[in-house]
Structure 1
Amino acid sequence: MTLQRQAFFWGVALVVSVLLLWLLSDILLPFVAGMALAYLLDPVADRLQRVGMSRLVATLFILLGFIVLLVIVLVVVVPLMVEQLGQFIAKIPDYVNTLQQTFAGPGQAWLRDLLGSNLEEVQGSLGEVVSQGASYLTSFLTQLWAGSQAIISLVSLVVVTPVVTFYMLVDWDRMVGSIDRFLPLEHRETIRQLAREINRAVSGFLRGQAVVCFFLGAFYGVGLTLVGLNFGLLIGIGAGALSFIPYVGSITGFVVAIAVALAQFWPDWVSVFLVAAVFGVGQFIEGNILQPKLVGNAVGLHPVWLMFALFAFGALFGFVGLLLAVPISAAIAVLVRFGLMHYQQSRFYDSRFGQPLTDDPVT
């Protein structure tokens, strides 16, 4: 009966937490972002404390650096990206027409020789697919552009997030200690061990993946710009940011970059190849150097499940869900592994568990 009551209590607590998160998702962004920043910056504050700074001075130093970086991004990077995004949206119809004329136009004799009487059907299908894809992409980018402007214009995100980060960072160790004192005495060590595993998984992934995304965004942006691709900086930084979702950033950036390159450079295959080479080199560096050394198997989740978690939480709770997807998924993964380990050591898995060993063969 005690086990049933505990299961009922934690089940109700989970349902209430999810419901509150869904109801308050529109106002939670600056608070969740502030907590996430405090969590990521806590090791920096600890190191500054070890060199002699007080917690308050270390927090003020970190917050000042964060504000300076935020101002630089808002003043220099964001206006440039918004301008390029608006121009890119306006150019999409022209790119679509160019691609259709290049690969499915009536003057392509090599396609007619290859497909014969099926050419008209293929041209119609290709045109419909390209037009539909362009429509979806235009709609998505328009919403993204409008959403970016809305996010930037929100005073709460710019003002509330640093304030929340400051108070959370100052009191982080104290809050962790307060929570630790309320843990059930009987299960305290088990909960501490699980919390350490969750922290190791979440911090390893978030900090490592943030460095990976920053490097890839800079590499793709600079590389595509140097090879002369229109909107290369926008496409590169976007691909780097989307690299937080496994495979999605690289695939999306590659497809968009190649499509723009074909529309811009055709029939100059050398330039198209250089665009593809930028992504090839970036993927080689990510897969063989950055991911193994910075991220590894920190979360312990298969990339497919991680993608599912990001899309599911994003669909349910918006941008707040994207911030919460990885830590919640990592916590669930640790708890599931813990539960499976205990299951394999229980009578539910092996009815002989806990029974004295005998010489009689098991039948």
Structure 2
Amino acid sequence: MPIHDLPHEARIAASLDVRAEEPAGEPGHRPPTVPGSSPRPAGPPAPTTNVGVDRMRVIGDGFRFVTAWSLRVIIVAAALWLLWWVLEKVWFGVLPILLALIVATVLAPVVQLGRRIGLPSSLSTILTLLLSLALLAGVVAGLVPSIAGQSQQIFDQAGEGVGQVRSWISGPPLNLDDAQVDEYLTSAVSWIQERSSDAAGAVASGLGAVGSALVTLALMLVLLFFFLKDGPKFLPWVRRTTGRTVGRHLTEALTRMWSTLGGFIRTQAIVSAVDAVLIGIGLLVLQVPLALTLAVLTFLGGFIPIVGAVVAGGIAVLVALVTQGVTSALIVLVIVLAVQQIEGNVLQPMLQGRSMQMHPGIVLLAVAGGSTLFGIIGAFLAVPFAATFVVGLRYLSEQVDLRSGDVSAAETPFATPEGYVAGAQAEHAAAAARETEQAAMAAAQHGSVASAAPPRPGFLAWLCGRH
């Protein structure tokens, strides 16, 4: 019988027998002899526990998986770095857009109310902006006389407060004498004088910042007008530009982000207003100077969660300490802490839904990162940005659940009809994938699929996960 008609094991044995019978003197017909070995080892191979798929194949597939995801992470990180670099270059133009979007979420319901009562879109937008500016001007006009009239009183009482602090320092437990206190004060004055040039430079840069802020404010007002006037036309334009599939996803995701951002800003405004009223009443009862100004500062600080409330409360306590002494400062501190406890345990849980809340650690990290990178504006924008980012992650997770078949479109709360259609398509794709997988498994069990390993994908297909 020819060798090629024999079984696999018999062909191996026959080839070994043939090689054993070849002439020893003809080079190239036999492999080099290994010392201590025979041409045909006696006995069967040693038993192995690896009776299934070769272990190295499994390990290699694992390394391929890790390598593919590592490359994807590197590519995503590079794209984010490039986006960040571009954002830094165009930040002066991006900032008015972000501020206009945040203000638009607050004023959009007022513009919609004007449309519902029959006003043209342009007229409703103009009236809303004029009323908002008039309200802001009224608040400023009401605070300026108070600040101008009570500033001198604070400066006069600050000298008495410094004397009280000096008396406290000279007593126990510090027990510093007047000479040591004077030495420390002299050192502080010298330190300030040495940096007077830096202060002058800071003033000059501050004037430049004021000019930049005025330009940013003007751009923000112009953009705000167009956002409020033409806002309802934006999502239809997105769907026309990107196509039906991407347009549906963008419509749903952007609608959720807009609703979350608007709800967050309005809720923070209500919470901050309650804090400002309660703390302002306490300051008025104690007759602390600049009580109304401190109340407005508390309201503005409320838009920077955690950090803003602490800073505004600290300023109120400091003013009370300088003007009225330790007892009044302690009472103000108790009022501030009580109001913050009411805010954290009653107001925010009642006004904000669970879907809008974030862990305090995330809030602190967002505020710290935003303030480090972009100052006060960054601290103000950090939490709204984090809230919209979380909404985007939740939408992606929801789409993964629909694609995997873990949830159905009927169980998912969608914000738009376009989102429901996109969810139904994802659910249909999950059902089709399950049917294909079940058919392949059934075919493999019946032996209708070839046992040969599938061909390896190309590099781009492997990197994109298509294998």
Distance (whole Å) between structure 2 residues aligned to residue 12 and residue 49 of structure 1: 45
Distance (whole Å) between structure 1 residues aligned to residue 392 and residue 273 of structure 2: 31
Superposed, 1:258-269 pairs within 5 Å as: 258-266=317-325, 269=327
Q: Which residue number corresponds to residue 37 of structure 1? A: 103
Distance (whole Å) between structure 1 residues aligned to residue 93 and residue 150 of structure 2: 29
Distance (whole Å) between structure 1 residues aligned to residue 389 and residue 246 of structure 2: 18
User: In the alignment, does 2:379 pair up with 1:306?
Assistant: no
Q: Which residue number corresponds to residue 283 of structure 1? A: 340
Shift of 1:203: 1.4
The amino acid that maps onto 2:233 is R
The amino acid that maps onto 1:283 is Q
Q: Which residue number corresponds to residue 166 of structure 1? A: 225
Change (3 A) 1:69 1:308: same
Q: Report 1 or 2 for greater relative contact order, CA contacts < 8 Å, sequence distance ≥ 6.
A: 1
Q: Which residue number corresponds to residue 115 of structure 1? A: none
Q: Which residue number corresponds to residue 47 of structure 1? A: 113
Q: Which residue number corresponds to residue 116 of structure 1? A: none
Contact 1:29 1:157 in 2 (8 A): yes
Q: Tell me the TM-score normalized by structure 1.
A: 0.69
User: In the alignment, does 2:170 pair up with 1:105?
Assistant: yes
Distance (whole Å) between structure 2 residues aligned to residue 289 and residue 99 of structure 1: 37
The amino acid that maps onto 1:194 is A
User: In the alignment, does 2:242 pair up with 1:242?
Assistant: no
Shift of 1:67: 2.3
1:227 to 278, 286, 296: 286
Change (3 A) 1:174 1:345: closer
1:175 to 214, 234, 237: 234
Shift of 1:205: 0.8
1:66 to 132, 138, 142: 132
The amino acid that maps onto 1:156 is V
Q: Which residue number corresponds to residue 114 of structure 1? A: none
Q: For 2:267, what is the secondary structure of its paired residue?
A: helix
Superposed, 1:114-133 pairs within 5 Å as: none
The amino acid that maps onto 1:196 is T
Q: What are the ranges of 5 or more consecutive residues in structure 1 without an aligned counterpart? A: 112-118, 348-352, 359-363
User: In the alignment, does 2:251 pair up with 1:192?
Assistant: yes
Q: Which residue number corresponds to residue 294 of structure 1? A: 351
Identity %: 24
Distance (whole Å) between structure 2 residues aligned to residue 159 and residue 188 of structure 1: 32
The amino acid that maps onto 1:75 is A
Contact 1:309 1:325 in 2 (8 A): yes
2:387 to 330, 340, 346: 330
Distance (whole Å) between structure 2 residues aligned to residue 259 and residue 323 of structure 1: 23
Change (3 A) 1:274 1:27: same
Distance (whole Å) between structure 2 residues aligned to residue 295 and residue 319 of structure 1: 24
1:211 to 270, 277, 285: 270
Distance (whole Å) between structure 2 residues aligned to residue 215 and residue 152 of structure 1: 33
Q: For 2:91, what is the secondary structure of its paired residue?
A: coil
Shift of 1:240: 3.0
Contact 2:158 2:322 in 1 (8 A): no
Contact 1:202 1:326 in 2 (8 A): no
Q: Say how many residue pairs are matched.
A: 327
Distance (whole Å) between structure 2 residues aligned to residue 178 and residue 5 of structure 1: 35
Contact 2:317 2:329 in 1 (8 A): yes
Shift of 1:62: 0.5
Distance (whole Å) between structure 2 residues aligned to residue 62 and residue 311 of structure 1: 34
The amino acid that maps onto 1:317 is F
The amino acid that maps onto 2:241 is F
Distance (whole Å) between structure 1 residues aligned to residue 354 and residue 206 of structure 2: 33
2:141 to 75, 95, 120: 75
Q: For 1:245, what is the secondary structure of its paired residue?
A: coil
Contact 2:97 2:220 in 1 (8 A): yes
Distance (whole Å) between structure 2 residues aligned to residue 92 and residue 181 of structure 1: 64
